[in-house]
Amino acid sequence: MNKTLQNWLSSQLSDLKTNNLYRPLVDLQTPQGGTITVNGKEVINLSSNNYLGFANHPQLKRAAIDAVEKWGVGAGAVRTIIGTMSIHEELERRLAEFKHVEAAIVFQSGFTANAGTIPTILSKADAIISDELNHASIIDGCRLAGLPSEQRPVYKHKDLDSLEDCLKRMADREKRLIITDGVFSMDGDIAPLPGICELAEKYDAAVMVDDAHGSGVLGGGRGTAYHFGVHQKLDIQLGTLSKAVGVQGGYIAGSAVLRDWLTQRARPFLFSTAQPPCVAAAIIAAIDLMETDASYTTTLWENTRYWQENLTKLGFDLGVTETPITPIITGDEGKAQQLQRELFDEGVLALSVVFPTVPRGKARIRTMPNASHTKPELDFALAALEKVGKRLGLI
């Protein structure tokens, strides 16, 4: 091995640890649930994106097992060669119907959906206008589009005046694409989609919404666009299949011509093996549940309100959240990591989030109540947070 490279890696890791930015991987030893086992210790789980509790749902497991028996364990090729099975086509039809759009296309992850879609629909003559707090996958997708920085203006977070200024400056571009998260993953606030759509219409711009954290959570599970009633005004909707849906993957929903173009030119679609058929089957089972049983979403929001109301009463700073994403903001990176460690000692898993995921000085633990939590589990976690929060001077 090259000593120069290995020494550099060791030095960088040492710097991360010195600055309280190093985050070791967590070893989960049970299925996802309200209570899990981590590093041999049973803890209340407040760090999962498993919003509806589907990751370990019996119907999804049964669907996956049945699909393995019927289709095998792998697709065996990329979609454009011989990796498109009937079950993949069925999944995309179901997603399109669920989202009330013409067509949908599934990618291996939400990240690759952004990385594949944004560069594929833009040219050097175009412009991308992006919210400053958009997810890293949007940022990388914009970079991959290859436009110069002046054609990729960033508007102030949720600031429609700032967005309009960017649109005016990009008026001479051939196409203008506004991109925003539907729900912002670190703060839990929601994009002002009605205002964005009005400006898009005024300035002849297309709108793309990354609804990874709105999928299954808002709008009857169909996302932020349906929450606001503007789904017919959007050109591109990205959804995830690995959070509320509980499985794995991401998808783009929109027009039939959009899907057709992406099948021809989106590089992650062209050069990655198709999802295992059991994944597609489990997702279809999740769509069935979302369409027929509203109790999962109802329980999610009941738990969210209970959790957030009690944290606020205790005096924690939850920022601007409007969704189940519940940050407990510490500011200091060292304090966030100490809060994580001491909560774990008390039997609660709530992971810290530090730079580069959030800006320096904006560290937090990010708690995620979900539909699988019981009230006793949430009460246990609240008691632990009160105890540790007082000890660390956070409340």
Amino acid at 100: H
One of 130, 185, 352, 372 is an active-site residue; which one? 185
Distance CA 268, CA 65 (A): 27
**The tokens of 256 are what?**
């039939």
Q: Which of 267, 107, 242, 131 is nearest to 189 (CA)?
A: 131
- Has 295 been annotated as catalytic? no
One of 213, 227, 362, 373 is an active-site residue; which one? 213
- Which residues, listed in sequence order, are joined to residue 78 by a DSSP beta bridge? 273
Radius of gyration, CA atoms only, the chain: 22
- Has 243 been annotated as catalytic? yes
- Has 109 been annotated as catalytic? no
**The tokens of 222 are what?**
């169909």
**The tokens of 86 are what?**
């009937």
One of 243, 335, 362, 373 is an active-site residue; which one? 243
Helix axes 277-292, 295-314, angle to 10 degrees: 80
Distance CA 395, CA 389 (A): 6
Beta carbons within 8 Å of 141's beta carbon, 6+ residues apart: 114, 115, 116, 117, 118, 119
Distance CA 302, CA 320 (A): 19
Which positions are annotated as active-site residues? 185, 213, 243
